[in-house]
Amino acid sequence: MTVQYLPEIEYYLSDLIELLYAKGYFSFPDQAINYVRRLREYIENEIQTTHKRKAPEYFLQYGKDMFFIIYKANSNTIWYIFFQQQNDVYLIRYITNNHVSAKYF
């Protein structure tokens, strides 16, 4: 099994570290780094076994035949990871959370 990320997703995850720290969600940069690291680890370790769901219509703008999995980071934040699967390759095409995209589910 292989997990690949679109380049814009790699940028997003890198920017997310800076954003979380800058907005005061974490007191130290290392905490923000660990938060994003745990998100990536979840994706890479669990995408194959976690129940996947068909992506709602709204998210098909990021790719066709997409699925998503859910990662509950804490009691306030749920991450939605959208991907396409071809055999044992999972291509991560979009990542969002309930604070941004809950209305589309």
CATH architecture group of domain 2-98? 2-Layer Sandwich (3.30)
DSSP letter, residue 53: E
pLDDT, tens digit, 9 for 90 and up, residues 30-70: 999 999 999 999 999 999 999 999 999 999 999 999 999 99
Closest CA to 48 of 80, 77, 83: 83
Spans of all domains in the chain: 2-98
**DSSP assignment string, 54-94:** EPPGGGGGG-SS-EEEEEE-SSS-EEEEEEEEETTEEEEEE
Q: Is the dihedral of CA 61, 6, 52, 2 positive or negative?
A: positive
pLDDT, tens digit, 9 for 90 and up, residues 10-27: 999 999 999 999 999 999
